[in-house]
Amino acid sequence: MVSLESLFIFKTEVFISTFVTLLALINPFQKIFVINSLRGQMTEKELRYVSIKSSITALVILLLFLTLGNMIFTFIFKIQLYSFRVTCGMVLVYSGWNALQKGVLINIGKDERIQDIASVPIAIPMIAGPGTITATVTFPAQYGTLITVLAVILAIGVNLVIMLSANKIGNFLIKLNLMSPIVRIIGLIIATIGIQMIFDGGVGFLTVHGLIK
């Protein structure tokens, strides 16, 4: 018989694993460079607004997909999850490759409104991106709905804290001449996550069609 202590330890380990995975997909360190790239165009108050609004928007979107994701995919758009994984993986590979080659994570026009920037592209797809959405759809079946919800909330919270501290962190990295190298490292990580998603989608396709077990 499983003791309560063993069950608690197991649940804690599952929660930490889920949280770390989501945090890696959200990639809060990426937002340091996004916020710093906006410093010449926005005031400190506006940057704080962008950070908070984008985080709230992303949280609502992820929770929506977490609760209704399968219905949205299956009944509304009539697509399979493995197809979504492959497509999202391709998007991440493209984004990561651009960052790796050009050292640029995102290009934002000077004439865009603050509200628009907070929603797109920061909330979507930079926080609630393809990988994060796929994770929130699939994790409840693997780890449980409550654990996934709490992990999403905590991951978004950590991301928000880092976004609000982006200027201080950015100044430190600039002094050490680490900004550009880290952008490229993050691009490599994003591309790698995308490749893994494509592989996972391919395995899902082959499994569903009985080509592998």
The pLDDT, as a whole number, for residue 107 is 60
The pLDDT, as a whole number, for residue 33 is 79
CB 9 within 8 Å of CB 78: no
Q: Which residues of 114-123 are buried (b: 16+ CB within 10 A; e: fewer)?
A: beebbbebbb
The pLDDT, as a whole number, for residue 7 is 52
pLDDT along the chain (213 residues), means of 10: 57 89 86 80 88 96 87 75 79 80 66 78 83 85 89 96 90 80 80 84 85 76
CA distance 148 to 17: 10
The pLDDT, as a whole number, for residue 49 is 94
The pLDDT, as a whole number, for residue 50 is 92
Residue 193 CB neighbour total at 10 angstroms: 21
Please compute, for residue 1, the number of CA atoms within 13 A of its CA located in the half-sphere on the CB side.
Answer: 2
